Amino acid sequence: MDQLPLLLLFWYGILHAFGPDHLTAIADFSIGKSRAKTLLITLAFAIGHGVSLFLFAKVLESMEIDETILQWGDTISSLVIVSIGLFLLFLAFTDRINVGWHDHHGESHIHIWFGREHSHNGGELRGRMATALSVGALMGIGGVRGMLITLSAIAHREVDLSMVASFTLGVMVVFLLFGVVLGIVNEAILKSRSAVRAAFATAGTISVVVGGSILL
């Protein structure tokens, strides 16, 4: 395969990643996390999103699909964002967010958790990464229309692994840069329970507004 189709897919991945619903979803999962954890979460979201979108495109590329059916992908993606937003608002306004400072090897850092107990066994991070991977995959349904148009633009080539890699790489570039910004914001601003609750409430409100506007 020549390089032009792959470059087109890479560029499409970049443009696709700038969608407000995608950036909102990443922000929702990354509140209060360190830079390293934020990058892992955004990476999981990008992989799930890219692979899922291409798998759906692969299934649909040779089928005659009515436009109204494809629109359901946007609806599903929007409902996911609204649901995440409502959950964040629930956490923020039901006093379920806990913030604590810990010392490890003489270095103090903040931890945010939900519930009475908090541990360092990595389960919470793995859970967030698995959720981000799943949500990214589910939201991939919403980008199928754009992907089919892009596939048509590159001479009806069949989807292969190089296409998956090119598109996903484009998505990752934007998501990881956004993750770096989120990590900096987390470390600089979210240093108290009130600040964390405000962040959750803000992210939840934005998620509901963004998802609701797409639905409308």
- pTM for this entry: 0.76
pLDDT for position 195? 80
What pLDDT digit, counting tens, does each position of 17-29 carry?
888 888 888 888 8
pLDDT for position 150? 61
**Residue 209 reports pLDDT greater than 90:** yes
Confidence of residue 38 (pLDDT cuts 50, 70, 90): confident
Amino acid at the residue 29:
F
* C-alpha distances in Å from residue 111, one per residue of 95, 116, 139, 153, 190: 16, 13, 29, 47, 10
List the chain domain ranges: 3-215
DSSP, collapsed to helix, strand or coil, labels residue 97 as strand
- Comparing 169 with 68, the larger pLDDT belongs to 169
Q: What is the DSSP string of 145-172?
A: HHHHHHHHHTTTPPP-HHHHHHHHHHHH
The C-alpha atoms of residue 108 and residue 180 are separated, in whole angstroms, by 21
Tokens at 119, concatenated: 């541990």
CB burial class (10 A; 0-12, 13-18, 19+) of residue 191?
middle
Report the 10 Å Cβ neighbour count for 214.
18
Helix axes 35-60, 123-139, angle to 10 degrees: 30
What pLDDT digit, counting tens, does each position of 193-205 carry?
788 788 888 989 9
What pLDDT digit, counting tens, does each position of 160-172 carry?
677 777 877 888 8
